[in-house]
Amino acid sequence: MNKPILIVGPCVIESRENILATAEELNKISKELDIEIIFKSSFDKANRSSIESYRGPGIDEGLAILKEVKDKYGFRILTDVHEVWQVEKVKDIIDIIQIPAFLSRQTDLVVAAGESGLIVNIKKGQFLAPWDVINIVEKIKSTGNDKILITERGTSFGYNRLIVDYTGIIELKKLGYPVIFDATHSVQQPGGLGKSSGGNVEYVQKLAKAAISVGVDGIFMEAHLNPTEALSDGKNMVRIDELKARLTELINLYNYINLEA
C-alpha cells in the first residue's frame, strides 16, 4: 500500500456539536498531510463496564450525526454494530461495519455484516489466538464478501491487562487481508477503574510505531478534543491537538519501512 489506512475519531458520539468540531479538526489534518482519514465513532457502546456508563445517543440520532459528517466533509465512516438488526439500518449510511472484539465470534452478526456488502472490520477478540481469526474471515467470505480488514487490539493478560503480541500481527498478515493496529484500545485496562476501563495513553505512540515496524497496513487511533472530559475511554484516547504530529511521525515511519521493503 502506498499510504497507511488511518481510522480516527472519538470512541462514542457524545453530542452533535462535539462530533462536528472533531470532524472539522480531522478534516484540516487530512488536507494538511494529504491523507485519507476514515472517521470512526460509535452510536452505542453496548459493552460498557457499568450500567451507569454513558453509551451514546442511540442508532437513529447517531446515524443522523454520522451522515452529517459524511455529507459535510466527505469522510468514509466506520461504526460498530452489536446486533443483527442494526446492520440493515447502518448499511446505507456508513462505509465500514466494525465487529466489536467481544462479539467477533457471534456468527449471526458476522454473517449479517458480510451480507451488507460493505467493508467489514473485524476486531480480533482479546481472547483469540491470531490463527483463530481465519474462522471469522471464513464466515464473512461465505456471504460472497471479500472486503475484509482485521484489527489487532491486544490480548487479555491476567486481570485488567492487555498485551500486544507483535508476532501475532505477522500471523494475521498471512491471512491475506489488510491488518490494522488499534493503538488506543491496546493500552486499555479493561474494567481497571471498577466501573470503567483505565488506560495509559503514554504507550500509544510507541506501540503504534512497533506495529508499523512489523508490517501493519494501518493504524486505528481514537482521538478526542479533551480526553479528560470524554464520556468513554478518556484514559486511552489521544488529544486532537497532538494528532497531526503523531500521524506525521507514523506516516514517515510507514513510508520508510515500506521503501526498505
DSSP codes of every residue in 85-130: HHHHHHTTT-SEEEE-GGGTT-HHHHHHHHHT-SEEEEEPPTT--G
pLDDT tier at 1 (50, 70, 90 boundaries)?
A: low
Separation between Cα atoms, residue 77 and residue 69, nearest integer Å: 8
User: What pTM did the predictor assign?
Assistant: 0.95
What would the mean pLDDT of 103-131 be, rounded to a whole number?
A: 98
pLDDT per residue as tens digits for the range 185-194? 999 988 767 7
Instruction: Judge contact between 175 and 196, C-beta under 8 A.
Output: no
User: Which H/E stretch holds residue 231?
Assistant: none
pLDDT per residue as tens digits for the range 246-258? 999 999 999 999 8
pLDDT at residue 47 tops 70: yes
**Domain ranges in the chain?**
5-260
State the architecture of 5-260 in CATH terms. Alpha-Beta Barrel (3.20)
What does R_g of the chain's alpha carbons equal in angstroms? 17
The reported pLDDT for the residue numbered 66 is 98
- Burial class (CB within 10 angstroms; exposed 0-12, middle 13-18, buried 19+) of 25: middle
